[in-house]
Structure 1
């Protein structure tokens, strides 16, 4: 089987609260494999699963979406199509944020009193609208 970790060790390694671990159990994202006294025992791969959950949440995946990628047989199942789609969404968001940042910085430093007369500002707005329409 592999090394087992008790719930306290998992908390110490990951920084995730015990209540969150129990919530993830209820959602079917992780499972404990037994008990040592009153303490839940986890397969050592739970640490990697928890890292993937954190990464997935940061990437915008829901817990339900991640459940399909984390099974109870101590393996991770990668849905490459779903990951590819999410990567494209993130790339689009990055382009939008860069454009927004550029627009804001331009407004901060633009010498035009009325931005409707500024050609660069008009171009930033037009590019932003084109990107948003593609979403």
Structure 2
């Protein structure tokens, strides 16, 4: 198995080496060893970084992600947090879908001014309602 050095992981992941070292300090990554002063990683570190990026994008904190990476099925508190986050994401997805449809309508609407279009106003109101306003 060919190991990747930190520069290769940084290039392939789009992350700075300092971010990789930060993730290592926080327990998200574990190097496979060193070549001189350079950290070496197994190639599967790229999948782990994809998971970390996805979780960060979903709003999980670094601490939550670190905990998730070592979780067992018996971690009831973490499972509850995951269910809460899934519900939050569902609300966000619904709101973004409504916003997308509003923008699609606005892109083809001929009403002058656009913001007074009844369909646009209705879509925006639905979007704001979905955001808890």
TM-score if structure 1 supplies the norm length? 0.65
String of CA shifts for 1:31-62, please: whole Å, max 9, x gaps: 22432222212244322211111111222222
1:132 alignment counterpart: 131
Secondary structure class of the residue paired with 2:68: coil
Structure 1 stretches lacking a partner, 5+ long: none
2:16 alignment counterpart: 17
Q: 1:84 to 1:40 in 2, by over 3 A?
A: same
Over aligned residue pairs, what C-alpha RMSD do you find?
Answer: 3.4
Secondary structure class of the residue paired with 1:68: helix
String of CA shifts for 1:84-126, please: whole Å, max 9, x gaps: 432322221122223334445656736477949x4x4564455
1:45 alignment counterpart: 44
String of CA shifts for 1:2-59, please: whole Å, max 9, x gaps: 7643323323432322111111122221122432222212244322211111111222
Q: Tell me, in whole angstroms, the C-alpha distance in 2 between the residues paired with 1:93 and 1:31.
A: 33
Q: Tell me, in whole angstroms, the C-alpha distance in 2 between the residues paired with 1:6 and 1:77.
A: 30
Q: 1:129 to 1:39 in 2, by over 3 A?
A: closer
May I ask how many residue pairs the two structures share in their alignment? 127
1:26 alignment counterpart: 25
1:70–1:77 contact (8 Å) kept in structure 2: no
Q: Tell me, in whole angstroms, the C-alpha distance in 2 between the residues paired with 1:11 and 1:125.
A: 41
Greater Rg by CA: 1
2:56 alignment counterpart: 57
Q: Tell me, in whole angstroms, the C-alpha distance in 1 between the residues paired with 2:42 and 2:100.
A: 44
